[in-house]
């Protein structure tokens, strides 16, 4: 057996892989959930406001303004995290795999291929950061952990 270190990012990646139905991801996710003490499938009931939240926030509640975000904000951020994970799966270059057998297609790929490839890569990277930051905001204690597990 060998000891491996895992971060919160590894937990998020395993959650995403399980959501995509990757082989072995269910077992890995369950193992990391136990190690980190959280289940990313469900939003937490409560969480502290994230550090990036604007200081004087006010939410309208029953005709009055109150300090802080609306009561259900963890559910809202969790929904955004699920959307971000789904978007990561759906982001693709429409010219990838284009049939280059025609002059017209070749010209389009030559004109737009590299730019689209860069844009899709940048969008994937930024969406991955968004996903991790949203889940870290919901599970701040787990996000600070590094765990060691013995694996075969």
Give residue limits of the domains in the chain. Answer: 2-151
Give the pLDDT of residue 54: 64
Q: How many other C-beta atoms can be found within 10 angstroms of the C-beta atom of residue 61?
A: 11
Question: Token match 């990646």: residue?
Answer: 13
Closest CA to 109 of 126, 96, 123, 122: 96
Classify residue 40 by burial, with Cβ atoms within 10 Å: 0-12, 13-18, 19+: buried
- Between 99 and 85, the more confident residue is 85
- pTM: predicted TM-score of the whole model, two decimal places: 0.83
Q: Is the pLDDT of residue 50 over 70?
A: yes
Q: How many other C-beta atoms can be found within 10 angstroms of the C-beta atom of residue 45?
A: 7
With cut-offs at 50, 70 and 90, classify the pLDDT of residue 51: confident
Give the pLDDT of residue 79: 96
For 103-143, the pLDDT digits (tens) are 888 899 899 999 999 999 999 999 999 999 999 999 999 99
Residues 68-73: contacts with CB within 8 Å, 24+ apart? Answer: none
Q: How many other C-beta atoms can be found within 10 angstroms of the C-beta atom of residue 26?
A: 13
Give Cα separations from 93 to 15, 117, 135 (angstroms). Answer: 24, 6, 27
């Amino acid at each position: 057996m060998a000891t491996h270190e895992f971060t919160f990012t590894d937990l998020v990646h395993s959650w995403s892989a399980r959501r995509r139905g990757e082989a072995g991801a269910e077992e890995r996710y369950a193992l990391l959930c136990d190690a980190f003490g959280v289940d990313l499938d469900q939003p937490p009931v409560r969480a502290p406001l994230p550090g990036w939240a604007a200081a004087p926030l006010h939410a309208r509640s029953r005709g009055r303004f109150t300090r802080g975000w609306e009561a259900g904000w963890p559910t809202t951020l969790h929904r955004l995290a699920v959307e971000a994970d789904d978007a990561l799966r759906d982001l693709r270059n429409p010219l990838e795999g284009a049939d280059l057998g025609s002059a017209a297609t070749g010209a389009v790929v030559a004109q737009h291929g590299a730019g689209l490839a860069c844009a899709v890569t940048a969008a994937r990277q930024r969406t991955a950061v968004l996903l991790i930051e949203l889940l870290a905001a919901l599970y701040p204690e787990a996000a600070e952990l590094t765990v060691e597990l013995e694996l075969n």
